[in-house]
Copies of this chain bind each other. A is one copy, B any other.
């Protein structure tokens, strides 16, 4: 239940207020050079306290690799790693011990398991995604060897929307601003919106778009493990995600077939499609064009204002959470989206080796 992937497989563990978050990457082939600074860099893109629009909570998020790597090269054995939970401030949570916070997992989780670490979100906390970024970064290194790149960016915050096609953008600019939107003007508007929400003790959601280039033809399966089904599940498993669409997505469902179909053409680089409404995946299998998709995030549920709710005894109460929280999760979620996508592509890239005799 806490494993992700078929061949390239992450099993993660850890609660937000336990000793550590960690994981085991199984199925990473031997011989891959592990660039530790690259992995730490990805963790830094996710960590709290990185800018004025993220929670000021300080977590160093230093990853410690415990196995599977010898002389900086993978050994083909499982890669175990941990990230210690250092900046815990349980006092922040004491008032919430007996409370079911609205739109959090407190109530469902407590009912399901009975024994709940009330000091925080426990296993439901987005803190778990730190393990995904470690494994996703290893996957990115594997993809790099295969000339595949995964790039995500924030394309909408609340109602501030980047309306350009990703092809018109320079995706290398994504990290040039704190909101991770590659268009500087829109980025500034997004930042303003997040700050305004913060001052209103409210939160914002939005959309992250992800683009994967360099994927060869033939990844994915025709039925249950369609490439976009595995990508979709991976995204929907990220905290706060409410929707997934690929290619022209929901908008494309308004098209007629004639408008939507991607015509094949002959090019110097082989068979290609003239348009890419399919988002690089046809019949569940990659067709060599860019893969792109949108991931919708709801606004964060923790509000630093009064809200009605019930406590663990079922009594109606009023809470007023305090503490250090993000007003918008999207900037920090960019590396998480990339990591999940990278793991899915790495997994299918390995499975592709099994297609023919």
Residues of A within 8 A of B (CB): 1-4, 7, 11-15, 18-24, 26-27, 29-32, 64-68, 70-71, 73-80, 82, 100, 102-109, 111-117, 121-124, 128, 142, 145, 156, 158-159, 197, 200, 202-207, 217-218, 220-226, 228-230, 232-234, 236-237, 239, 242-250, 252-266, 270-271, 273, 277-278, 282-287, 296-303, 305, 307-310, 314-316, 350-357
**A21 nearest CB neighbor, chain B only:** B67
With known contacts A108-B286, A112-B218, A261–B202 Cβ distance under 8 A? no
Are A296 and B249 in contact (CB-based, < 8 A)?
Answer: yes
Q: Check if B223 sits within 8 Å of A1, measured CB to CB.
A: yes
Q: Which residues of chain B come closer than 8 Å to A21, judged between CB atoms?
A: 67
CB-defined contacts of A266 to chain B, threshold 8 Å: 310, 314-316
A13 CB contact (under 8 Å) in B31, B64, B66, B239: B66
Partner of A30, one of B78, B102, B113: B113
Assuming A76-B355, A142-B357, what are 16 further A-B pairs, CB within 8 angstroms? A12-B223, A13-B80, A18-B68, A22-B67, A29-B355, A109-B283, A124-B283, A158-B256, A225-B237, A228-B236, A233-B233, A242-B245, A242-B249, A243-B250, A248-B298, A258-B305
For A12, the chain B residues whose CB sits under 8 A away are 24, 78, 223
Residues of B within 8 A of A128 (CB): 223
| Residue of A71, A246, A307, A356 with highest tally of chain B CB at under 10 A | A356
- In contact, A115 and B70 (Cβ under 8 angstroms): yes
A237 to B158 alpha-carbon distance, docked (Å): 30
Q: Which 5 A-B pairs have the closest CB atoms?
A: A105-B283, A243-B245, A13-B80, A203-B257, A233-B233
26 A-B residue pairs with Cβ-Cβ distance under 8 Å, sorted by A, are A1-B225, A2-B224, A3-B11, A11-B11, A13-B24, A15-B75, A29-B354, A29-B357, A30-B114, A32-B357, A73-B115, A102-B264, A103-B261, A107-B217, A108-B283, A124-B284, A202-B256, A226-B237, A237-B284, A243-B249, A257-B299, A260-B298, A260-B301, A261-B307, A271-B310, A353-B354
Copy total for this chain: 4
A1 touches B27 (CB 8 A): yes
B108-A30 in contact (CB<8A): no
Q: Which residue of B lies closest to A286 (CB)?
A: B108
A113 to B219, CA, bound (A): 11
Q: A73-B115, A76-B355 are in contact. Are A221 and B1 (CB under 8 A)?
A: yes
